């Protein structure tokens, strides 16, 4: 059977989606997105192979009696047999010309299923053709094949019609004699014309009573009135349409038969001479049905030739909705859009979720079109209001959500839900674009599998989840290795996209360039990873030097500080000593701003292969906003200046900026700082006295100090409430230093970091490690770091914030000792290392990685050369999958299996194959007659097979050995056949 796989709209939709995914992945240079795109593409390709192989292993044949003439309404029994090792699923079978197909859920492997097909309506007569169609497994391709049969179905027209019989032509008497032997109108005429069996309605006067008295059956004497006229039934004389004409003529023939008149049939194609009797009747009816099919056959025969039968309503288009699959699809789509919360404006999410619940969970009917249009307009307006402009990734995704919701509202048939499932694939993919965690990628893969299972479920009708899950898992297991191989090999950067598709809105976590009281505390509440640091030199800085510098703030407004303006060139730093430098490789998570963290004090950095020098305030700034995770290298000097080096003086502009104070200063604070200035001789002592003040005056450190607002906030904090967070301390300290005449500035960054053993040892710095401290300018030291929090709570340096706030160092130590503490710590560190690996190996796998891979192998050509191994892998994978799918069924009976091997060997050698209905001995005899050189061995093996399988003898081992050991030489056989043929 020739199987054709046709693509339909869904194939195009799949291609579009894969192209969209690849484009997004290239634009964002996101390896996980590439992987998902490849996985989707491979699943689509494999579903093509599965669709093809599904119908390939099917044998369709007619069964039962195939009479010469049949009742028009009689069903046609057909047997479908699955000859491969896999079951055949999701079939639609129908006869060409019928209106409704029969849906067959599954034909188990190696077994046969019998169906009765509704008879064709339009092509009542003619050669019967069957069509088998399937959109299994995913509905992306439709496979179909036309089964030709040799049965010419003939349907005799039913007698119908009320027109009177045409008058017999008396002039045709000569022909009447030919058929006058059997007719006999019981009543008329006086020539005895023989006996016939009595029928109900015959007059009792004509019964042959003598014979009946002797015990014979009731016979009726028939009389003829000599030569009778012949009734001529002419096709062209009637003015009705074809089927009515045929019915009328059949009725006339019936009347003629019962009357005993000979009749002649005159059709456009043939003329049947006058006659009478059942054989004549049958001939005439056959001719009539042939006439009917010839007339009706012209239009549909072209359809037959084209092999299309799209007019038959497929079960894909039926509007009956099964409840459970729809529920599953809605749930899967809800799972798909769940991770988008937090990145996409909630209005579109809510719209989409409501539509899904309305239609899928509550199973309400499709609402009116106005409502649907209203939903689209409302959703689009909400997107516009939220985002302002339609370009960019998030607005696009939000619009897609609204459209998906609208599509859900209007979907009725499985075909439309298929489109929705494809959109669901894309929505699940979007989550990977927005978040880079390993967990998110796994979630996406899981959701894709769920949606695929829903797609399979829609194509089948058995309830339950096991079968769709099994099919999905098989597809996934076959697609995953291919996708992984292509991930490494398929050339990236083919599209050469200049702009990166970044995220426009990030989470609320992340340092801002404004230090407002309270906003550092907000950052500290999140436990997301800010960045990870590796030390390639093996030098790990001590706890108290793990200050990570991000921003410096110059402009003072009391408790609130901002960046201030950019100042001129930086003062020269003390010449870096050979020791005390440490190299770091930092993997920074995207935060949308331009600062880069570095260990205090950064000397120089390297980002994207280019050197980056620190700014005027010794912090690192990236040339463009960090919208994706970045990796860069920094060399820092972490030892504090000793005061013995030559330090240049602070430039005037810097000094002026570093002493700027807000316009309104609290007089009490002014008094305090004046007092400090008065009791000290130099700046260092001022610093020291201020630190003493903080540590002795009852200040406390908490994450929830309450609100400080207004111009009095500094005084409020420093003199009255004395409860605050590092931001309060650093801001107030720097302000007071400025008031005391010491140039100072606030530095915002991170403090600490958790050490993890995995991946060769690295530090994890989280958002909760955010910290703010101050720097003061001291004459012989330069900018000197002062951490007021350290003065207040020295433990803070050793443990992270959460532990510090929970109970301090002892509590943390105790926690670490418990089993729960240890195992949760280990788990946490392991999970972080998994994420780190995922980031490094998968997400950051891009063009450069490919190039380095190529160079390692030894090739230096351009990236297009990678297309060759990609295509090779795909072809190899497709071949393997096809071979697996097409494997022939293994017979349960071991005897039969070995016999099959023998038949295959013989077939390869040129012997015509064993027919299905041929017994073993008959086959052996045939082989012996056609190929005498094989006769002896064949006879022996056949004897063994027969005595073992049908006789119960225990010769299986010998038989198997004999079959496997027999090497049939194909050439000898072929030459013999060629000789015989010549």
Partner 1 sequence: MLPATTALQASQQIATIIERVSQIILGKENVVRLAVTCLLARGHLLFEDQPGVGKTMLSQALAQALGLGFRRVQFTSDLLPADILGASVYDRDTAAFHFHRGPVFTHVMLADEINRATPKTQSALLEAMEEGKVTADGTTHSLPEPFFVIATQNPSSQIGTFMLPESQMDRFLMRLALGVPDRSAERALLEGQERRELLRTLQPAMSFLELQQLQTWTRAVYAAPALLDYLQDLLAASRVQGHGLSPRAGLALLAAARASALLNGRVMVLPEDIQAVAVVVMGHRLEHAADGMRGSDLARQLIAETPVP
How are the residues of the chain apportioned to helix, strand and coil, as percentages rounded to the nearest 5? Answer: 50, 20, 35
What's the closest the beta carbon of residue 154 comes to partner 1, in angstroms? 9
DSSP conformational letter for 170: G
Q: What are phi and psi of 522, to 5 degrees?
A: -65, -40
Residue 26 near residue 432 (C-beta atoms within 8 A)? no
Least gap, CB of 53 to partner 1 (angstroms): 22
Compute CA distances 274 → 228, 246, 271, 906, whole Å: 11, 18, 9, 58
CB of 287 to partner 1, least distance (A): 16
As a whole number of angstroms, the longest Cα–Cα distance in the chain is 161
Q: Which of 200, 199, 218 is nearest to 209 (CA)?
A: 218
Tell me how far, at minimum, the Cβ of 493 lies from partner 1, in Å.
Answer: 58
CB of 286: closest distance to partner 1 in angstroms?
A: 11
Question: Considering beta carbons, is residue 59 or 266 the nearer one to partner 1?
Answer: 59
Q: How far is the CB of 921 from partner 1 (least distance, A)?
A: 5
Closer residue to partner 1, CB minimum distance, 64 or 166: 64
Smallest separation, CB 870 to partner 1 (Å): 45
Which strands, in side-by-side order, build the sheet including 514-515? 514-515, 560-562, 555-557
Q: By C-alpha distance, which of 131, 55, 146 is closest to 94?
A: 131
Q: CA 4, CA 2: separation in Å to the nearest integer? A: 6
Spatial CB neighbours of 207, under 8 Å, sequence gap ≥ 6: 198, 218, 219, 220, 221
| In the complex, minimum distance from the CB of residue 153 to partner 1, in angstroms, rounded to a whole number | 11
Residue 70 in contact with residue 62, Cβ under 8 Å?
no
Q: How many angstroms separate the Cα of 898 from the Cα of each of 440, 594, 955? A: 51, 73, 13
For 340-365, give one letter per residue: b (16+ CB within 10 A) or e. Answer: beebbbebbbebbbebbebbbeeeee
Place of tokens 């990977």: 432
Residue 20: name the closest of 603, 430, 485 by CA. 430
Closer residue to partner 1 (CB): 253 or 672: 253
CA 402 to CA 197: how far, in whole Å?
81
Contacting positions for partner 1 (CB under 8 A):
61, 63-70, 77, 79, 114, 195-197, 214-217, 219, 893, 895-896, 916-922, 946-947, 949-952
Q: Please identify, using beta-carbon distances, which residue of 198 and 831 lies nearer to partner 1.
A: 198
Q: How far is the CB of 77 from partner 1 (least distance, A)?
A: 5
Burial of 58 (0-12, 13-18, 19+ CB in 10 A): buried
Q: Which is nearer to partner 1, 65 or 980 (CB)?
A: 65
Closest CA to 22 of 41, 47, 2: 41
In the complex, minimum distance from the CB of residue 833 to partner 1, in angstroms, rounded to a whole number: 59
| Token pair of 765 as six digits | 């710095």
**Smaller CB separation from partner 1, 63 or 872:** 63
220 vs 409, which CB is nearer to partner 1?
220
**Who contacts 838 (Cβ-Cβ below 8 Å, separation ≥6)?**
32, 436, 437, 438, 441
Instruction: Report yes or no: 72 and 286 within 8 Å, Cβ to Cβ.
Output: no
Would you say 127 or 719 has its CB closer to partner 1? 127
Other beta carbons within 10 Å of 31: 24
Least distance to partner 1, CB of residue 83, Å = 10
**Of 74 and 826, which has the nearer Cβ to partner 1?**
74
Least Å distance, CB 300 to partner 1, is 25
8 Å CB contact between 4 and 309: no
Which CB sits closer to partner 1, 59 or 695? 59
Beta carbon of residue 1, minimum distance to partner 1 (angstroms, whole number): 17
| DSSP helix/strand/coil, 713 | helix
CB nearer partner 1, residue 65 or residue 819: 65
Of 702 and 904, which has the nearer Cβ to partner 1?
Answer: 904
Judged by CB, which is closer to partner 1: 70, or 441? 70
């Amino acid at each position: 059977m020739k199987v054709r796989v046709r693509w339909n709209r869904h194939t195009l939709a799949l291609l579009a989606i894969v192209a969209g995914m690849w484009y997004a992945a290239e634009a964002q240079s996101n390896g996980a997105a590439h992987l998902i795109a490849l996985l989707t593409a491979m699943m689509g390709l494999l579903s093509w192979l599965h669709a093809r192989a599904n119908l390939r292993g099917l044998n369709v044949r007619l069964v039962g009696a195939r009479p010469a003439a049949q009742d028009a309404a009689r069903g046609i029994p057909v047997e479908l047999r699955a000859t491969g090792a896999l079951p055949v699923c999701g079939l639609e079978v129908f006869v060409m010309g019928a209106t409704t197909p029969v849906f067959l859920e599954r034909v188990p492997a190696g077994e046969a299923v019998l169906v009765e097909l509704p008879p064709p309506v339009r092509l009542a007569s003619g050669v019967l053709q069957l069509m088998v169609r399937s959109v299994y497994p995913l509905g992306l391709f439709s496979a179909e094949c036309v089964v030709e049969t040799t049965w010419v179905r003939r349907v005799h027209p039913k007698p119908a019609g009320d027109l009177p019989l045409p008058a017999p032509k008396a002039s045709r008497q000569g022909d009447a004699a030919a058929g006058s032997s059997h007719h006999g109108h019981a009543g008329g005429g006086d020539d005895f014309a023989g006996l016939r069996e009595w029928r109900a309605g015959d007059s009792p006067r004509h019964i042959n009573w003598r014979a009946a008295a002797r015990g014979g059956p009731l016979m009726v004497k028939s009389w003829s009135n000599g030569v009778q006229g012949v009734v001529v039934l002419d096709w062209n004389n009637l003015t009705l349409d074809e089927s009515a004409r045929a019915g009328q003529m059949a009725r006339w023939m019936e009347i003629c038969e019962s009357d005993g008149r000979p009749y002649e049939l005159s059709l456009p194609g043939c003329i049947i001479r006058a006659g009478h009797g059942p054989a004549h009747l049958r001939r005439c009816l056959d001719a009539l049905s042939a006439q009917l099919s010839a007339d009706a056959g012209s239009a549909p025969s072209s359809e037959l030739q084209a092999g299309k039968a799209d007019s038959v309503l497929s079960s894909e288009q039926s509007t009956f909705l099964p409840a459970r699959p729809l529920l599953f699809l809605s749930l899967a789509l809800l799972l798909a859009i769940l991770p988008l919360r937090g990145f996409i404006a909630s209005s579109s999410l809510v719209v989409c979720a409501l539509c899904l619940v309305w239609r899928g969970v509550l199973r309400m009917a499709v609402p009116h079109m106005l409502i649907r249009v209203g939903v689209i307009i409302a959703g689009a307006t909400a997107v516009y209001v939220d985002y302002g402009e339609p370009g960019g990734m998030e607005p696009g995704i939000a619009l897609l959500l609204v459209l998906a919701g609208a599509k859900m509202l209007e979907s009725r048939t499985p075909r439309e839900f298929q489109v929705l499932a494809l959109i669901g694939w894309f929505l699940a993919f979007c989550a990977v674009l927005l978040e880079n965690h390993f967990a998110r990628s796994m979630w996406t893969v899981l959701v894709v599998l769920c949606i695929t299972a829903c797609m399979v479920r829609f194509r089948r009708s058995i309830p339950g989840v096991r079968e769709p899950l099994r099919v999905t898992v098989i597809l996934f297991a076959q697609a995953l290795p291919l996708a992984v191989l292509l991930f490494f090999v398929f050339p990236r950067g083919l599209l050469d996209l200049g702009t990166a598709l970044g995220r426009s809105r990030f989470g609320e976590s992340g340092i801002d360039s404004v230090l407002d009281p309270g906003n550092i505390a907000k950052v500290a509440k999140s436990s997301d990873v800010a960045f990870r640091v590796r030390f390639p030199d093996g030098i790990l800085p001590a706890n108290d030097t793990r200050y990570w510098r991000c921003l410096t703030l110059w402009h003072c407004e009391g408790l609130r500080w901002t960046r201030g303006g950019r100042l001129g060139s930086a003062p020269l730093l003390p010449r870096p000593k050979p020791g005390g430098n440490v190299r770091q490789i930092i993997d920074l998570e995207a935060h949308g701003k331009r600062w880069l963290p570095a260990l205090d004090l950064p000397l120089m950095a390297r980002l994207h292969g280019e050197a980056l020098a620190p700014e005027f305030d010794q912090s690192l700034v990236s040339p463009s906003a960090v919208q994706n995770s970045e990796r860069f290298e920094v060399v820092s000097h972490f030892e504090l200046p000793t005061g013995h080096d030559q330090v240049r003086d602070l430039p005037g502009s810097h000094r002026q900026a570093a002493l700027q104070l807000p316009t309104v200063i609290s007089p009490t604070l002014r008094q305090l700082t004046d007092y400090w200035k008065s009791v000290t001789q130099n700046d260092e002592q001022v610093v020291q006295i201020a630190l003493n003040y903080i540590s002795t005056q009852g200040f406390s450190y908490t994450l929830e100090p309450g609100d400080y607002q207004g111009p009095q906030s500094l005084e409020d904090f420093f003199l009255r409430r004395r409860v605050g967070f590092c931001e309060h301390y650093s801001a107030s300290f720097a302000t007071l230093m400025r008031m005391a005449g010491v140039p100072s500035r606030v530095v915002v960054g991170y403090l600490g970091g958790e050490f993890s053993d995995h991946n060769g040892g690295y530090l994890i710095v989280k958002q909760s490690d955010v910290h703010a401290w101050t720097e003061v300018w001291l004459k012989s030291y330069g900018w000197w770091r002062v951490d007021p929090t350290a003065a207040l709570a020295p433990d803070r340096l050793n443990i992270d914030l959460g532990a510090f706030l929970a109970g301090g160092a002892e509590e943390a130590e105790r926690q670490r000792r418990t089993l729960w503490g240890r195992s949760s710590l280990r788990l946490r560190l392991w999970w972080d290392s998994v994420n780190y690996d995922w980031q490094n190996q998968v997400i950051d796998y891009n063009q450069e990685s490919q190039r380095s891979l190529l160079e390692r192998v030894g090739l230096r050509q351009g990236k297009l050369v990678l297309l060759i191994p990609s295509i090779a892998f795909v072809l190899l994978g497709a071949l393997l999958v096809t071979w697996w799918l097409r494997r022939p069924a293994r017979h349960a009976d071991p005897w039969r299996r070995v016999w099959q091997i023998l038949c295959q060997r013989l077939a390869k050698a040129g012997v015509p194959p064993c027919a299905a209905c041929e017994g073993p001995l008959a086959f052996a005899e045939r082989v012996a007659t056609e190929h005498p050189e094989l006769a002896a061995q064949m006879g022996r093996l056949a004897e063994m097979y027969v005595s073992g399988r049908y006789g119960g003898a225990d010769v299986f081992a010998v038989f198997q050995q004999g079959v496997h050991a027999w090497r049939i030489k194909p050439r000898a056989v072929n030459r013999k056949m060629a000789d015989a043929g010549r």
